[in-house]
Amino acid sequence: MKKTIFKGAATALITPMNPDTTVNYTKLKELIDEQINAGIDALVICGTTGEKSTLNYEEHIKVIKTACKHTNGRVPVIAGAGSNDTVYSVGLCKDAIDVGADALLMVTPYYNKTSQAGLISHYTYVADRVDAPIIVYNVPSRTGVNILPETYLELSRHQNIVAIKEANGDISSVAKTKQLVGDALDIYSGNDDQIVPLMSLGGSGVISVLSNVAPKATHDMCIAYLNGDVKTAKDLQLKYIPLINALFSDVNPIPVKEAMNIMGKDVGPVRLPLVPMSEQKREALIKIMADLKLI
């Protein structure tokens, strides 16, 4: 039986920046404390929301190392370590493990894409060479490739591949995947608007953008469902749908960083090629946050 990394809500944590867009490591530690104090169940560092694609290698490893050291075992730290270069990804995974990561989040190869056979070979190659649990991250809207349920079944046979972050938005596909893999892979929602629907099919929780601004509510939603309180989970899911939609009204993590700055968290700007959201979208975000008493 494979070990579950976490159940509940993991925050796909933003990477805070100084005004000049250098990484703000002091603020990173503050955000980690806030998240843990709010009850979050795990942290994902240097994922899409953490602007991994514009961190250089040294920054990437330093952010992971800082997060692991500061978290100090209070919750699992999952490091974004995927790449469209399989061999490069192995080195990145090993370095993330060396600086303390408890698990790895590996996105599907992007731009060069690959076939389903190529996905199996890619993940198997990495999993054979690293000694840490791997979460396979499927986000076809960004990568241009989708993992099929039958491919998950093949991947589930590897001892080091333990979970899925599913962000393809296809609930029917999730149902088929769960039917095929059973308990061999934990399934986490990669979409905040589908947390409860995915958990109703046997999912273990979410890797969340929403929890950057509402960690307790996101955690409570998942734990309520896991404890059998479906109504509370459903009510929280529906309550936060307007905010979830606003947080994805522009390219992630533009809106969530803006929301955190509106809350006074001073997490800084996004890095180019991302740019600030329009004033119209920002005003809509402010109204929704005010309605939820987040500001």
Q: Hey, which residues are catalytic here?
A: 137, 165
Q: Name the pairing type of β-strands 42-45 and 205-208.
A: unpaired
Instruction: Give the pLDDT confidence score for residue 2 in this predicted structure.
Output: 85
Contacting residues for 193 by C-beta, under 8 A, at least 6 apart = 237, 241, 244, 245
Nearest to 160 by CA among 59, 81, 45: 81
pLDDT tens for 100-109 read 999 999 999 9
Instruction: Give the pLDDT confidence score for residue 60 in this predicted structure.
Output: 98
pLDDT tens for 164-191 read 999 999 999 999 999 999 999 999 999 9
Separation CA 288–CA 291 (nearest Å)? 5
CATH architecture of 8-229: Alpha-Beta Barrel (3.20)
**Helix (H) / strand (E) containing 57:** helix 57-71
DSSP 8-state code for residue 47: S
Query: In sequence order, what DSSP letters do the residues of 75-134 get, joined into one string?
Result: S-EEEE---SSHHHHHHHHHHHHHTT-SEEEEEPP-SS---HHHHHHHHHHHHTT--S-E
Q: Is 266 left (phi over 0), alpha (psi -120 to 50) or beta?
A: left
Residues of the chain with pLDDT under 50: none
**pTM score of the predicted model:** 0.97
